[in-house]
A and B are shown apart, each in its own frame.
Chain A
Amino acid sequence: MPLDVQEGSVEAGLDALDTPVNAPDGSRVRRIAARVLPPIGAIVVLVAIWQALWAAAFWPEFKLPSPAAVWGQIWELVTSGDILELFWVSVHRAVIGFAISLLIAVPLGLAIANIRVVRRGIGPLVSGLQSLPSVAWVPAAILWFGLNDRAIYWVVLLGAVPSIANGLVSGLDQVPPILPRVGKALGAGRFGGIRYILLPAALPGFLGGLKQGWAFSWRSLMAAELIATSPELGKGLGQYLHDGMSLSDISMVFAGIVLIFVVGVGIELLVFRPLENSVLRARGLTSSAR
């Protein structure tokens, strides 16, 4: 071998030269600041514009409340402890609804992705349901189930199941065909192939579907709570918003909107974003600067 200066040294040198270099990250505080400061800045600017509009008295007070009045409403909920009940009622419904959706959507997605007849038969139906606003089901649900939790869960399910199932289907469809082939060459049987190759390969798409499914279930829940109000149902954020409308209290309405937004975004940021980031980063699919 003319090449061998020393056994393996050329190769070791190539490896060292070829290995992708990762730029060292800045300090932790800096990175967090770079993430957190822009959205905080945006909120500050937004509130400032709001305050200016209110101070200019463009619209009467009963149409545009002052930021301070809205904050007052929220603070009152916090000090009285009512906020816990509002959050509990809505969030536990959303979580249960999401969990049931998951149980239904995963087998459904697997069936659509793997069985041709099922895909042709109900695939378009499931995609179509995704673009049908699930609020449209509220009247039917109330007529079928009455004003109770079952009606609300029905609406949440119809919002979340199609997007989770579609996410799983597109995740499975986007698996590079070489991977299952390699799996087969490595000795994967039918179930081994699904368990060890297809499902892990489809995970990023599936997580995207989960995230969207959560957004849909939260939205559907708020719509259902807003329309289906009854003392038996307990008081969630949607009912709170509804009460604000009934009382013609615009600051209460704004407070409701803010709280719904905070919960929806908060769960995405605390649960789904870290999950998705860790999966994508492990596969080298994202830059750390995202």
Chain B
Amino acid sequence: MTATVDAPPDQLTPVRFHQVGKAFGSGRKAVVALDGVDLEVGAGEFVCLLGASGCGKTTLLNLVAGLDRPTSGRIELNSSRPAVVFQEAALMPWLTAAGNVELPLRMAGVPKAQRRAKAAELLELVRLAGLGDKRPHELSGGMRQRVALARALASTTDSADAGKPSLLLMDEPFSALDAITRDVLQGELLRIWRATGTAILFVTHDVREAVRLGQRVVLLSSRPGRVVQEWDVDDAPDAVDEINTALRKVISSHAA
């Protein structure tokens, strides 16, 4: 414990997997979603988790988010509460955009004035300043997803965790959006990542998206999900073809 306290925050690894496995059900009918996964996300690092359907990407994210528990191995979490953005924005329809961003702060008992200021600041960050009074149904899909991002970021601001690195988990957040919006939001996400310095674990099945966004791309196999290969794509933007080939190989191994 003392070692972690002494280490400066940027030295901490927000999340580290030790041989993590997850099975649903038990006995012979059990479905193994994840098997022996070793993975780590460094402070401020942008990691993309790539895989076909059924590779346990979402399961893995749920484990980090604390929505589910691993059946074997352990997850070492050194970050403040991970922020989660889901595929759907899932905004609370009875709250305004600002109300949604304030929700995690309200549940954490943050005083009203402070909540307001924080929500305004986060809406500004996702370029929605001045739209805080809008209801979710009055916003476009891309705007809703940005509100969801601001709300997720609000959930990490927990005073008890001050000094710990932050971690943002994203589960195919742009896959339900049209191509232009997705393209713009990918740019926005990179900007926000640089502005906040948060570590990001981003799940996707889109190779181009993974290569454009991530510093590191991790390919998972399907059923059971295992780490197949990793690429440092920060200085190899032409890795798309290579990763595509690897992904196809993983998928075709299920044809038989």
Contacts and interface: CB of A to CB of B under 8 A. Distances in A.
A18 B139 CA distance: 8
B138 A284 contact: yes
Interface stretch (A2-10, A33-41, A50-58, A105-113): A2-10
Contacts of A179: 90, 92
A91 B156 CA distance: 52
A187 B184 CA distance: 29
B104 A283 contact: no
Contacts of B181: 14, 18
A12 B106 contact: no
Contacts, number: 93
A181 interface: yes
A285 B137 CA distance: 9
A11 B188 contact: yes
B62 to A, nearest CB: 9
A99 B187 CA distance: 55
A3 B94 contact: no
Interface residues of B, number: 36
A60 to B, nearest CB: 58
Contacts of B180: 14
Which of A201, A284, A285: most chain B CB closer than 10 A? A284
B22 interface: no
Nearest to A22: B138
B127 A12 contact: yes
A181 B67 contact: yes
B93 A187 contact: no
Contacts of B86: 178, 181-182, 185
Interface residues of A, number: 36
Contact of A3 (B90, B108, B187): B187
Contacts of B143: 15, 18-19
Nearest to A13: B184
A201 B151 contact: no
Nearest to B84: A185
B197 interface: no
A187 B80 CA distance: 11
Contacts of B152: 185-186
Nearest to A15: B143
A13 B181 CA distance: 11
B90 A283 contact: no
A18 B107 contact: no
A192 B106 CA distance: 9
Interface in A178-216: 178-179, 181-189, 192, 196-197, 200-201, 203
Q: Point out which of A4, A186, A285 has the most chain B C-beta atoms below 10 A from its C-beta.
A: A186
Nearest to A196: B107
B90 A182 contact: yes
A24 interface: no
Best-surrounded residue of A4, A15, A20 (most CB of chain B within 10 A): A15
B23 to A, nearest CB: 21
A185 B107 CA distance: 12
A198 B64 CA distance: 24
A285 B143 CA distance: 19
A1 interface: yes
B141 interface: yes
A19 B140 contact: yes
Contacts of A103: none
A200 B140 contact: no
B141 A18 contact: yes
A8 B187 CA distance: 10
A201 B92 contact: yes
A282 interface: yes
Given A18-B142, A186-B103, A200 B94 contact: yes
Nearest to B139: A19
Interface in B180-221: 180-181, 183-184, 187-188
Contacts of B66: 184-185
A15 B90 contact: no
A282 B108 CA distance: 25
Interface string B39-74: 000000000000000000000000001110000000
A58 B87 CA distance: 68
Contacts of A12: 127
A134 to B, nearest CB: 33
B217 to A, nearest CB: 20
Given A178-B90, A200-B92, 4 more contacts: A15-B140, A19-B143, A186-B152, A284-B93
8 contacts: A11-B127, A14-B180, A15-B142, A178-B90, A181-B90, A185-B84, A185-B86, A283-B135
Interface of A: 1, 3-4, 8, 10-12, 14-15, 18-20, 22, 176, 178-179, 181-189, 192, 196-197, 200-201, 203, 279, 282-285
| Across the A-B interface, the 10 shortest Cβ-Cβ residue pairs | A284-B137, A18-B140, A186-B104, A185-B84, A283-B93, A186-B155, A192-B107, A178-B90, A182-B90, A200-B94
